[in-house]
Amino acid sequence: MKPVEIKPGIYWVGGIDWDLRNFHGYLTQRGSTYNAYLIIDEKPVLVDTVKHYLCEEMLSRIRQVIDPARIDFLVSNHVEMDHSGSISRILELAPQAKVISSPQGEKGLRRHFTADWDFQVVGSGDEVKIGQRTLKFLLTPMVHWPDSMATYIPEEKLLLPNDAFGQHIATAERFDDEVGWDIAYEEAAKYYANIVLPYGEQVKKALDAVSGLDIDMVAPSHGLIWRSYLSKILDAYYRWAANEAEQRAVIVYDTMWGSTEKIAQSLCQALEAAGLPVTMKSLKTNHISAVMADVLRAKLILIGSPTLNNGMLPSMGAFLTYLKGLRPKTRIGFAFGSYGWGGQAVGEIEKVMRELNWRIPLSGVNLQWVPEERELDGVREKGEELANILKQG
């Protein structure tokens, strides 16, 4: 339960949620952390808190640095309760502390907590001097809530952007280079795909604002602190915000009696034969939030379901509902499936693709009962055509 000094006089005092496996529908197989930061200056500051059940863990870290009663400012960068869940307890211990938030943050906190706190509402560019250091605020609305903001400490070249640049990962280490780029990147991509993806335009604005700041460390509110791979994660955020995807395919499907799976495999064979990297994601074995990391990466998305009860399989319905909410753009879509009678699933999948404004260059494959080999040859031809379309851009 030790605090970790991330800059002289600035401490990580968060909580580690080792057992978290589901974050409102996002499968968090590596757990998570809620990062709170304590700044020791003439006026001590706590930036964000932790989920309510990790409050005592956070307090035990704070107490090793300072009596929490001495905290003068509590910065709430974001209302969501994984970060605001312990504000009440901190204010019981430090009733004189001012709560600094964005205008939307104040409204949100007042709706979540009924206590009459002493708010100091800030806008973009506002500064609060805390002694040797300055807190400078940058509103980042819809990255990923209306209230979201970042706190910048220019004297330390430190940005505390809350959820942006976060990753759901519980580790004993606090810094990116202590775990390595591959794992940090994998979790940052999964986090972006499941939480930040709908807000690319707002992310671009936030990145433009951040690009004018002198920064050598970005300490988000989840997971590892970026210090060694800062330029790499910023580059990745620029790409993701622009909806740039790679020349690769992901095949997302479910199957009842194996027919739709045969079509999926034939498509995979053709795309692989054309030299494209292909990822196969059966919804029987992959959680929808894990599939989103592949969707973030791939330009070509092939989606397949058999028809069941005049529609698609419920697993595919759940995936498409999730996908529609996250709104990946500029993708090439292709639908496929099998049926006994009716055959509505393929049309329903294409409808969702059209709602997402994806390009659908080829009509889908919809095969009755068990596909014959000659029909699968036709599927492979479609796969070849899709590969050519993808290569032509």
As annotated, the active-site residues are 24, 78, 80, 82, 144, 163, 191, 222
Backbone angles phi, psi at 135, to 5 degrees: -100, 125
Backbone angles phi, psi at 68, to 5 degrees: -55, -20
Binding mask 92-131 for ligand FEO (x = CB under 6 A): ----------------------------------------
- Segment lying near ligand FEO (by CB under 6 A), choices 80-88, 235-243, 307-315, 337-345: 80-88
Is the preceding peptide bond at 24 cis, omega within 30 degrees of 0? no
Strands 246-253 and 298-304, by their bridges, are parallel
Contact call for residue 167 and ligand FEO (CB under 6 A): no
Closest to ligand FEO by CB, 83 vs 98, is 83
Contact call for residue 163 and ligand FEO (CB under 6 A): yes
Q: How far is the CB of 265 from ligand FEO (least distance, A)?
A: 39
Instruction: Please give the Cα distance from 276 to 367 (Å, whole number).
Output: 25
Closest to ligand FEO by CB, 225 vs 367, is 225
Residue from 80, 176, 261, 294 in contact with ligand FEO (CB under 6 A): 80
Instruction: Please give the Cα distance from 185 to 176 (Å, whole number).
Output: 9
* CB environment 41-80: b (16+ within 10 A), e (fewer): bebbbbbbbbbbebbebbbebbeebbebeebbbbbbbbbb
Q: How far is the CB of 146 from ligand FEO (least distance, A)?
A: 11
User: What pairs with residue 308 in β-bridges?
Assistant: 311
- Segment lying near ligand FEO (by CB under 6 A), choices 78-86, 99-107, 199-207, 381-389: 78-86
Answer left, alpha or beta for residue 275, where phi above 0 means left and psi between -120 and 50 means alpha: left
Q: What tokens were used for 325?
A: 């909410």
Contact partners, residue 235, CB within 8 Å, separation at least 6: none
- The count of chain residues that interact with ligand FEO, using the rule CB under 6 A, is 9
Closest to ligand FEO by CB, 75 vs 379, is 75
Q: How far is the CB of 34 from ligand FEO (least distance, A)?
A: 7
The alpha helices in the chain, defined as continuous H runs, are 55-63, 81-84, 87-93, 103-112, 176-179, 181-191, 200-211, 230-241, 259-273, 288-297, 314-326, 345-355, 373-392
Instruction: Please give the Cα distance from 321 to 299 (Å, whole number).
Output: 20
Q: How far is the CB of 23 from ligand FEO (least distance, A)?
A: 8
Residues 206-265 within binding reach of ligand FEO (CB under 6 A):
221-222
Q: How far is the CB of 79 from ligand FEO (least distance, A)?
A: 8
Q: How far is the CB of 81 from ligand FEO (least distance, A)?
A: 8
Contact call for residue 190 and ligand FEO (CB under 6 A): no
Closest to ligand FEO by CB, 240 vs 358, is 240
Q: How far is the CB of 273 from ligand FEO (least distance, A)?
A: 43
Contact call for residue 43 and ligand FEO (CB under 6 A): no
Contact call for residue 82 and ligand FEO (CB under 6 A): yes
144 near 135, Cβ under 8 Å? no
Instruction: Please give the Cα distance from 214 to 73 (Å, whole number).
Output: 24
Residues near ligand FEO (CB under 6 A) are 78, 80, 82-83, 144-145, 163, 221-222
